[in-house]
């Protein structure tokens, strides 16, 4: 290269570097509200309070996605962590990426290169017990503070600049099965979480802490106690005490309605509800809470008196759309129980429900949206569709305002045989019943797959929320625990257990790009930009993979 060439390169460098040092590194409540104005950053678990998991970055398009190439990889560093599922969605704040590797290591990475700024490592107590992996789905940020829940049921506040611990609080007793795997949600000056542990007979709750001090601000019991509305739906001998109602995934927030929405997990024990007669509120429900005091504003229960482990462990997707001729604030919800729901998110009114996979446990709704259940577990065994892992699970869906389609990671044509067996509560032990049969492993992968298609398979499905019609389906031979990212340029990114990561055409599901990552995808993709260049990130196996177009 001659001298002139070098000079040109250096000049280009100045423009790029001007963006490297941002004007402000503080994540204020206002910035979280206006996150859509800075698509180069990814400030909350679902990419915005409306949880669309949709990026307006436009560098990567259907025309150029075939050129997408690996930019960098970050490998999980601890041996124990590498053996777990890597479920976190990273945040990106002004060129710095924050993620959590299993079980509870927070890492600050240079989003440009994947190099480490710092690692905060939390070794969970030996008391931690988790049904479904020593996993974590990510951090939340407010100001200069990151928040991480731990599997020994602590909530930690960590300085985002230095990786130093600022405060930590014990959220529940890990010896009783309380654990935090959820990425926290920050609303105003509170950080909100709730415990996993529905398989251990916990009594669930949603709890808000002051972001500065860690002082508890309010608590909403997802399983109401005596004197609280809903307790009357827990018959039997104090069945509410071990009623489950976990919080597995992050809620959403509508600042105009000032309502926060959370999906609540299954009742305990999972597969035999004889000890808990009644609807078992607010399990398998979405609850709308006032973020200032945690008071319940409305609720909708997807699966009353559940005995099929159909947690409402889904992200509430807040879509503003034209609904039968009227602009409405809606909530889209593809549930583990196989049904797609459209609710009015101001009131909780049930607007639509229809299956998005084969469903046989119910055959319709009454006018209030209560399902007409026709099958349940029995002593002789009952074959129920979808299977116990569900038609979808905690994997984030996506809604694209461009296409108007709702993208659902789906398990298609699955079934379980549910057999009712006696269950006894023993502190700290699983409180579930007889595990239903399943053709595929509930968690993780096997190195080989010789299943028949009619035993179930995975798919990304694009559904028209207004009709429930499946507009297109991208089938995969194995099932998927992957989230979905949609883009304003009409792309959909997702993957599955086989380890492929796909770029699909959001309009018709055509596969435009694929990359094998050599490990299962059990996380949601996200997108960010540094110096104007767009990146797509996804965790797979024990690595975090970041892609971009050639410069």
Provide the annotated active-site residues: 309
DSSP H/E element including 7? helix 3-18
* Structure tokens belonging to residue 368: 């209030």
Using the 8-state DSSP alphabet, how is residue 281 labeled? T
Q: Are strands 500-505 and 511-516 parallel, antiparallel or unpaired?
A: antiparallel
Does 338 bind other proteins (CB under 8 A)? Our answer is no
- Which of 126, 226, 448, 450 touches other proteins (CB under 8 A)? 126
Identify which of residues 141 and 264 has a Cβ nearer to other proteins in the complex.
Answer: 141
Q: How far apart are CA 263 and CA 284, in angstroms?
A: 7
Task: Compute how many residues bind other proteins; rule: CB under 8 A.
Answer: 41
Closest approach, Cβ 127 to other proteins, in A, equals: 8
Residues forming a β-bridge with 253: 260
Percent helix, percent strand, percent coil in the chain, to nearest 5: 10, 35, 55
Through-space distance between the first and last CA atoms of the chain, rounded to whole angstroms: 19
Identify which of residues 111 and 540 has a Cβ nearer to other proteins in the complex.
Answer: 111
Does 166 bind other proteins (CB under 8 A)? Our answer is yes
- Which of 61, 118, 132, 499 touches other proteins (CB under 8 A)? 118
DSSP H/E element including 441? none
Q: How far apart are CA 146 and CA 117, in angstroms?
A: 14
Q: How far apart are CA 197 and CA 129, in angstroms?
A: 8
Does 152 bind other proteins (CB under 8 A)? Our answer is yes
Does 164 bind other proteins (CB under 8 A)? Our answer is yes
Does 13 bind other proteins (CB under 8 A)? Our answer is yes
Does 61 bind other proteins (CB under 8 A)? Our answer is no
| 421-450 residues near other proteins, rule: CB under 8 A | none
DSSP string computed for 158-173: EETTT--EEEEEE-S-
Q: Are strands 252-254 and 350-355 parallel, antiparallel or unpaired?
A: unpaired
Q: How far apart are CA 235 and CA 232, in angstroms?
A: 7
Q: How far apart are CA 543 and CA 541, in angstroms?
A: 6
Closest approach, Cβ 108 to other proteins, in A, equals: 6
Closest approach, Cβ 115 to other proteins, in A, equals: 5
Closest approach, Cβ 525 to other proteins, in A, equals: 23
Does 38 bind other proteins (CB under 8 A)? Our answer is no
Does 10 bind other proteins (CB under 8 A)? Our answer is yes
Q: How far apart are CA 198 and CA 267, in angstroms?
A: 7
Closest approach, Cβ 77 to other proteins, in A, equals: 10
Does 83 bind other proteins (CB under 8 A)? Our answer is no
Q: How far apart are CA 487 and CA 240, in angstroms?
A: 43
- Which of 31, 82, 131, 168 touches other proteins (CB under 8 A)? 168
Cα 31 to Cα 42, 138, 365: the distances in Å are: 11, 19, 41
- Which of 33, 59, 61, 110 touches other proteins (CB under 8 A)? 110
Rounded to 5°, angle at Cα 36 from 35 and 42 = 55
Stretch that binds other proteins, among 123-131, 184-192, 195-203, 467-475 (CB under 8 A): 123-131
Does 9 bind other proteins (CB under 8 A)? Our answer is yes
Stretch that binds other proteins, among 160-168, 204-212, 389-397, 510-518 (CB under 8 A): 160-168
Q: How far apart are CA 92 and CA 89, in angstroms?
A: 10
- Which of 28, 123, 295, 322 touches other proteins (CB under 8 A)? 123
Stretch that binds other proteins, among 16-24, 290-298, 315-323, 352-360 (CB under 8 A): 16-24
Does 8 bind other proteins (CB under 8 A)? Our answer is no
Identify which of residues 111 and 362 has a Cβ nearer to other proteins in the complex.
Answer: 111
Q: 30 Cβ partners below 8 Å, 6+ apart?
A: none
Does 69 bind other proteins (CB under 8 A)? Our answer is no
| Nearest residue to 343 (alpha-carbon basis) of 295, 285, 256 | 285
Identify which of residues 79 and 324 has a Cβ nearer to other proteins in the complex.
Answer: 79
CA atoms 306, 310, 312, 317: torsion sign: negative
Closest approach, Cβ 19 to other proteins, in A, equals: 11
Stretch that binds other proteins, among 36-44, 162-170, 270-278, 361-369 (CB under 8 A): 162-170
Closest approach, Cβ 475 to other proteins, in A, equals: 41
Q: Note whether 288 and 312 are within 8 A (CB).
A: no
Q: Where are the alpha helices (DSSP H) in 166-301?
A: none
Does 113 bind other proteins (CB under 8 A)? Our answer is yes
Closest approach, Cβ 56 to other proteins, in A, equals: 24
Does 105 bind other proteins (CB under 8 A)? Our answer is yes
Q: How far apart are CA 393 and CA 333, in angstroms?
A: 11
Q: Note whether 210 and 228 are within 8 A (CB).
A: no
- Which of 27, 108, 130, 308 touches other proteins (CB under 8 A)? 108
Stretch that binds other proteins, among 154-162, 183-191, 195-203, 318-326 (CB under 8 A): 154-162
Identify which of residues 18 and 443 has a Cβ nearer to other proteins in the complex.
Answer: 18
Interface residues toward other proteins, by CB under 8 A: 9-11, 13-14, 16-17, 20-22, 25, 80, 95-96, 105, 108, 110-113, 115-119, 121-126, 144, 152, 154, 159-162, 164, 166, 168
């Amino acid at each position: 290269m001659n001298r002139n060439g070098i000079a040109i390169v250096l000049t280009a460098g100045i423009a790029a570097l001007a963006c490297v040092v941002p004007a402000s590194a503080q994540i204020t409540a206002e910035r979280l509200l206006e996150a859509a104005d800075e698509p180069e950053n990814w400030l909350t678990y679902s990419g915005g309070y409306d949880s669309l998991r949709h990026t307006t970055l436009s560098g990567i398009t259907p025309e150029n996605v075939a050129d997408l190439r690996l930019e960098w990889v970050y490998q999980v560093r601890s041996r124990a962590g590498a053996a777990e599922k890597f479920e976190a969605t990273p945040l990106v704040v002004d060129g710095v990426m924050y993620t959590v590797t299993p079980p509870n290591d927070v890492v600050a990475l240079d989003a440009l290169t994947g190099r480490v700024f710092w690692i905060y490592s939390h070794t969970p107590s030996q008391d931690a017990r988790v049904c479904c992996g020593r996993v974590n789905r990510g951090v939340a940020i407010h100001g200069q503070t990151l928040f991480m829940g731990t599997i020994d049921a602590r909530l930690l506040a960590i300085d985002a600049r230095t990786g130093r611990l600022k405060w930590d609080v014990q959220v529940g007793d890990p010896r009783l099965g309380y654990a935090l795997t959820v990425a926290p949600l920050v609303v105003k000056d509170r950080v909100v979480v709730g415990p996993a542990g529905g398989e251990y007979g916990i009594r669930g709750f949603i709890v808000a802490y002051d972001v500065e001090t860690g002082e508890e601000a309010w608590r909403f019991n997802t399983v109401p106690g005596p004197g609280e509305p809903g307790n009357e739906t827990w018959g039997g001998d104090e069945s509410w005490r071990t009623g489950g109602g976990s919080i597995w995934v992050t809620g959403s927030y509508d600042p105009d309605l000032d309502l926060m929405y959370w999906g609540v997990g299954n009742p305990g024990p999972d597969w035999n509800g004889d000890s808990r007669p009644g609807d078992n509120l607010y399990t398998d429900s979405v609850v709308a809470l006032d973020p200032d005091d945690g008071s319940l504003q409305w609720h909708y229960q997807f699966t009353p008196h559940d005995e099929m482990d159909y947690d409402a462990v889904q992200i509430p997707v807040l879509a503003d759309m034209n609904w039968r001729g009227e602009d409405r604030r809606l909530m889209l919800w593809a549930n583990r129980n196989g049904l797609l729901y459209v609710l009015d998110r101001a009131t909780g009114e049930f607007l639509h429900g229809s299956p998005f996979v084969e469903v046989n446990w119910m055959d319709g709704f009454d006018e209030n949206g209560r399902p007409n259940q026709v099958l349940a577990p029995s002593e002789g065994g009952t074959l129920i569709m979808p299977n116990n892992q569900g038609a979808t699970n905690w994997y984030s869906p996506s809604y694209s305002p461009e296409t108007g389609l709702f993208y659902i990671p789906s398990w298609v044509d699955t079934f379980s045989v549910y057999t009712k067996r006696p269950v006894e509560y023993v502190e700290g032990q699983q409180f579930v019943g007889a595990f239903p049969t399943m053709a595929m492993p509930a968690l993780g992968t096997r190195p080989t797959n010789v299943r028949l298609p009619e035993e179930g398979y995975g798919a990304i499905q694009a559904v028209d929320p207004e009709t429930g019609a499946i507009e297109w389906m991208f089938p995969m031979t194995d099932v998927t625990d992957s989230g979905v990212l949609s883009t304003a340029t009409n792309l959909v990114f997702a993957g599955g257990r086989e380890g492929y990561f796909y770029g699909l055409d959001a309009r018709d599901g055509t596969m435009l790009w694929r990359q094998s990552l050599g490990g299962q995808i059990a996380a949601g993709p996200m997108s960010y930009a540094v110096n104007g260049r767009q990146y797509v990130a996804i965790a797979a196996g024990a690595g975090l993979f970041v892609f971009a177009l050639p410069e």
